[in-house]
A = this chain, B = another copy of it.
Amino acid sequence: MYILKDIATFIDAELIGDASIKINSLATSFNAQKDQLTYVASNKYKSDLPTLTAGAVIITKDLLKDCPTNALVVDDVYLAFAQITHYFKQPPTYFDGVHTSAQINSKNIAKNCTIGAHVRIGKDCTIGANTVIEQGVTIGNNVIIQPNVTVLQNCTIGNNVSLSAGVVIGSEGFGNALDSQGHWHTIAHLGNVVIGNDVAIGANTVIDRGTLEDTQIHNGVRLDNLVHIAHNVSLGENTAIAAGVTIGGSVTLGRRCQIGGGAVIASHIHLADDVVITGASTVDKHLDKGRYTGFTSISPHSDWKRTQIWLLKLDKITQYLNIQLKHLKGR
């Protein structure tokens, strides 16, 4: 918890309003309450400003006239947001062994696991050697965690879940703000990962925690090996994702989607329920129910080389042919 005045000092902001209010956490502009700080980083979200219920908001000077709450005025809102996130982040852990405050209701836990403060583990769970469960994690019943897994602070795992070897749950999202000198400033990710029931996650797969809200893996999801799930993603019930898939930030997948191996889904894309993506495809559009594909089918190398040249010349070829046709018609 900080006083708004302190936060203004941390991010070098001009404070307009009540300097004494208490800020307990950060939140998105839609959800922020009286004890929370939010930010409006771009003109895109400008229209949200008048209905804000946050205790305070980080904004630029030009938006001040529409601001219904206490304001922290800065030149670069996103950079200021990146800086303040670190004040609300729990420090990383460095302990080992099992913390005395952990509540463990299962016997099959390898003795050399690391289990942090206030972790709760349900019944009939198995945890393999060298696995690390950080502070505040909650794990349901009948969960199998293989060796060398890392579950980072405050994430939640439901019942009947399996995590294969090398999985990382709750890593930091890839969010960075650029300053005027071209240096990146890391955003500390304050959301968690929430995994539902009956979920299976393959070896060396990584799921990032959300920025302010949670990354959500709903009931019945299947993830294969070496899958990347970025921050703020939501995967609908019974969606299945094959190996080597890369899913960008804030992507939402509906229920019963099937994503083939090696596909890439760009950030902020939304797929409806029952979308099937062929492996190796790149998803660069929002998609409704149906089967979609996007990759270059394999061919002998020399054919491919020729085809790529033609592909880039297509507009010139058709232009040329049209001119010729017009010329002929005119005769």
Contact = CB atoms under 8 A, between A and B. Distances in A.
A279 B266 contact: yes
Interface in A96-126: 96-97, 108-112, 114, 126
A96 B112 contact: yes
Nearest to A243: B228
Contacts of A134: 147
Contacts of A184: 198, 200, 220, 222, 238, 240
Contact of A300 (B206, B292, B303): B292
B299 A304 contact: no
A172 interface: yes
Contacts of A162: 172, 186
Nearest to A165: B150
A295 B296 contact: yes
Interface residues of A, number: 109
Interface string A291-331: 11111111111011111101110110110010011001100
Identical chains bound together, number = 3
A293 to B, nearest CB: 4
Nearest to A221: B184
Interface stretch (A3-11, A73-81, A281-289): A281-289
Nearest to A303: B312
Contacts of A230: 224, 243, 261
Interface in A166-204: 166, 168, 171-172, 174, 176, 182-184, 186, 198, 200, 202-204
A59 interface: no
A225 interface: yes
A49 interface: no
Given A129-B96, A292-B301, A308-B297, A264 B282 contact: no
Given A129-B95, A228-B261, A325-B321, A308 B296 contact: yes
A258 to B, nearest CB: 10
Nearest to A184: B222
Contacts of A45: none
Contacts of A301: 278, 290-293
A246 B226 contact: yes
6 contacts: A128-B132, A242-B246, A260-B266, A294-B295, A307-B312, A310-B311
Given A206-B243, A261-B266, 5 more contacts: A95-B129, A132-B148, A146-B152, A285-B298, A324-B329
Interface of A: 91-97, 108-112, 114, 126-130, 132, 134, 144, 146-150, 152, 162, 164-166, 168, 171-172, 174, 176, 182-184, 186, 198, 200, 202-204, 206, 208, 220, 222, 224-226, 228, 230, 238, 240, 242-244, 246, 248, 255-256, 260-262, 264, 266-267, 277-285, 287, 290-301, 303-308, 310-312, 314-315, 317-318, 321, 324-325, 328-329
